[in-house]
Structure 1
Amino acid sequence: MADPTPVLDDLHAESEELDLLVAELSREQWTLPTPAPGWTLAHQIAHLAWTDHSSLLAVTDQAAFARQLEEALAEPGDYVDNGAEEGAGKPPAELLADWRAGREALEEALRAAPAGARFPWYGPPMSTASMATARLMETWAHGLDVAEALGVTPAPTDRLRHIVRLGVRTRDYAFGLNGQPPPFEEFRVELTSPSGELWTYGPEDADDRVTGPALDFCRLVTRRAHRADLALDAVGADADRWLDLAQAFAGPPGAGRPPKGDGP
C-alpha cells in the first residue's frame, strides 16, 4: 500500500508555489485571460477551489458527494464550468481565502484518512494517494495557465514524478475514452526529470516506447500543449497513437491546445 505522505507533501508545496504567484495580484490581473477559452485567471483559481471542495466532500461526506455527483450527471457539459464561473464572480480576496481554506481542509482530511481508505469520484474510486496525486496534477496544470497569463515561466521540479506516474497509469483509460481498445502489451516509458534523473516505466524490452523530458510528458497528459510543440518521441504504432490522445484527468478530453508552431 502506497504511503500518501510524499505526494501530500508535494501537493502542499505545489499549492504554496501557486499561491505565491497570485497572492499579491491586483483586481485587474484577476481578470486576465488564460489559455483556456473563456477562463480568466480567477476562473482557474475558482476551479481549483471548487474541485478541492468536491474532493473534501468525497473524503468526509460521501452522501453529500453522491448528491453532487447526481447533479453533475444531470448537466455533464456545464457543471464544472458553472462552478468555476460562480467562484470567479467573487471578490479576489474572498476567492483566495476560499481556495486556501478548502485546500487546507482537504489536506488535513487526507492526512487523517485511515490506511486503505477509498473515496468515490467522478471516475473510479480513489485511494488517499490517488486523490492527492489528482489534486497535485490539477494544481500544477492550472498553475501553468495562470503563469502563462502573467507572462511567467515557472521552474519545473521533480514533483512532476507524481503526474508522470499518473499519466503512465491512465494509458488504457485514455484509449477507452477515445473509443479505442487499449494495446495488450505494456509500453516502455523513459523520461528525464527536471533534476536530470531518468524515470523509467514498463519492461526494458517492450516494442513500443516513449522517450523525452518529463516536463513535456506532463504538459501532454494534462493537455497543456500540443504534441507538435513537445520533444517527445514514440517508437511503435501504438505508442504513437497514445501520444495523440493521452490524458491524465477524468472527463472528456476537450479540444486541447492548438500547436504554436515553435516545437522542438
Structure 2
Amino acid sequence: MSDPTAAVLDDLRAEGDELDRLVAKLDPDAWRTATAAPGWTIAHQIAHLAWTDGAALLAVTDADAFAAEVEKAAAAPDTFVDEGADAGARLAPDELLGRWRHGRARLREALEAAPAGARFPWYGPPMSTASMATGRLMETWAHGQDVWDALGRTREPTDRLRHVARIGVRARDFAFAVRGLAAPGEAFRVELAAPDGQGLWTYGPEDAPQRVTGPALDFCLLVTQRVHRSDTAVRAEGADADRWLDIAQAFAGPAGPGRAPKGA
C-alpha cells in the first residue's frame, strides 16, 4: 500500500473517531434531535454512515452482491438513501453506535488489505482504495457537520479537509453531468486558504482564466451541500466557474437539493 493511501486511511479513522467521541456522550433523547437534513435526526445521520460503510464494504469484498444493491438503488433513486437511514435510526442508540463502529472498522481493514491497483464499483465511477477511503472520509465529515450543527457545537477544522476539497474539485464534471449539463471544456484554477491560515491549497493551471477562491472550510461546506453558496466566502471568476458553485457536489448519486440561505 502506498504512503498516500495509508495517510488517507489514517485520516478516515481520525474523522470517524472524532464524531464517535461526540455522539458517544449523548443521552438517548439527544439522538432524536433534528438536523438540517429534512426528516433526519442525529440517529439518521449516524445510521446513514453505518449504511454507506456497509455498502462500501460490500463493494470492496463482493462486487456481484454490490451490483445487486446498485440495481435496488436504481429502482428507487429518490427513496433508497432515506430508507437505509430510517431503518438504522429505529435502533436503540447503543446498538446503532456499535453497528457503526463495527462496520467502519471492518471497512478500514478491508481497504488496508486491498491489493495495489485495486478498483471497486460504486454508485458513481469505480473507486481506487484511496478514492474509496477519501469518499468515506468526505461523507463522515459532511454528516458529522450536521450533527455538530444540530447540537449547537462548533467543530475546529483540520487539515483532513484537504481530502474533502480534493474530491470536490475532482467531482466538478460529475456535478454538471448529473444535472444533464455539458461540463466546461477547460480546467479551473482553485485556490483555497488552509484552515490554519498558513497555506494555500491549489488545483488546476495557475494561468486558467476561470477561478474559484476562498476559505477551504467554506468550499468543503459548499461542495458537500451543507451551506448555501451565499453564506460562504467562496468566489468565482468566469461564467462556468460561477455556475459550478451553484451546483457543486462532492458526493455520488442524484443531484442534491442543497441548503437554503441562512434566514430564509
Q: Aligned partners of 2:121, 2:168: CA distance in 1, in Å? A: 20
Q: For residues 218-233 of structure 1, what are the structure 2 equivalents within 5 Å?
A: 218-233=220-235
- Pair 1:8-2:9 in alignment: yes
Q: Aligned partners of 2:165, 2:200: CA distance in 1, in Å? A: 12
| Deviation for aligned residue 1:73 | 1.5
Q: Aligned partners of 1:174, 1:248: CA distance in 2, in Å? A: 8
Q: TM-score, normalization: structure 1?
A: 0.97
Q: Aligned partners of 1:169, 1:254: CA distance in 2, in Å? A: 17
- Pair 1:194-2:195 in alignment: yes
- The aligned counterpart of 2:83 is 82
Q: For residues 35-46 of structure 1, what are the structure 2 equivalents within 5 Å?
A: 35-46=36-47
Q: Aligned partners of 2:256, 2:53: CA distance in 1, in Å? A: 21
| Deviation for aligned residue 1:123 | 1.1
Q: Aligned partners of 2:223, 2:183: CA distance in 1, in Å? A: 16
Q: Aligned partners of 2:24, 2:253: CA distance in 1, in Å? A: 30
- Give CA-to-partner distance per residue, 1:83-112, whole Å, 9 cap, x none: 100000000000000000000000000011
Q: Aligned partners of 2:3, 2:231: CA distance in 1, in Å? A: 34
| Deviation for aligned residue 1:261 | 4.7
What fraction of aligned residue pairs are identical, expressed as a percent? Answer: 67
Q: Aligned partners of 1:144, 1:43: CA distance in 2, in Å? A: 13
- Pair 1:244-2:246 in alignment: yes
The answer as to whether partners of 1:87 and 1:95 remain within 8 angstroms in 2 is yes
The answer as to whether partners of 1:228 and 1:261 remain within 8 angstroms in 2 is no
Q: For residues 114-193 of structure 1, what are the structure 2 equivalents within 5 Å?
A: 114-193=115-194
SS at match of 1:151: coil
The answer as to whether partners of 1:186 and 1:206 remain within 8 angstroms in 2 is yes
The answer as to whether partners of 2:249 and 2:256 remain within 8 angstroms in 1 is no
| Deviation for aligned residue 1:180 | 1.5
SS at match of 2:4: coil
SS at match of 1:178: coil
Q: TM-score, normalization: structure 2?
A: 0.97
Runs of 4+ in 1 over 2 A off after TM superposition: none
- Give CA-to-partner distance per residue, 1:154-210, whole Å, 9 cap, x none: 000010001111111111111111221111111111000112210111111110001
- The aligned counterpart of 1:62 is 63
How many residues end up aligned between the 2 structures?
A: 262
Letter in 2 for 1:226: H
Q: Which runs of 5+ in 1 are unaligned?
A: none
> Which is further off, 193-202 or 47-56?
193-202
- The aligned counterpart of 1:203 is 205
Letter in 2 for 1:207: P
- The aligned counterpart of 1:215 is 217
RMSD over aligned Cα atoms: 1.2
Q: Which runs of 5+ in 2 are unaligned?
A: none
Q: Aligned partners of 1:185, 1:60: CA distance in 2, in Å? A: 37
- Give CA-to-partner distance per residue, 1:6-44, whole Å, 9 cap, x none: 111101000000000000211100000000000000000
Letter in 2 for 1:191: L
Letter in 1 for 2:159: D
The answer as to whether partners of 1:220 and 1:227 remain within 8 angstroms in 2 is yes
The answer as to whether partners of 1:191 and 1:214 remain within 8 angstroms in 2 is yes
- The aligned counterpart of 2:95 is 94
- The aligned counterpart of 1:255 is 257
SS at match of 2:27: coil
Letter in 2 for 1:202: G
- The aligned counterpart of 2:31 is 30
- Give CA-to-partner distance per residue, 1:46-74, whole Å, 9 cap, x none: 00000000000000111211121121112
- Give CA-to-partner distance per residue, 1:225-264, whole Å, 9 cap, x none: 00000001111111111111111101122321000159xx
> Which is further off, 133-142 or 1-10?
1-10
The answer as to whether partners of 2:188 and 2:209 remain within 8 angstroms in 1 is yes
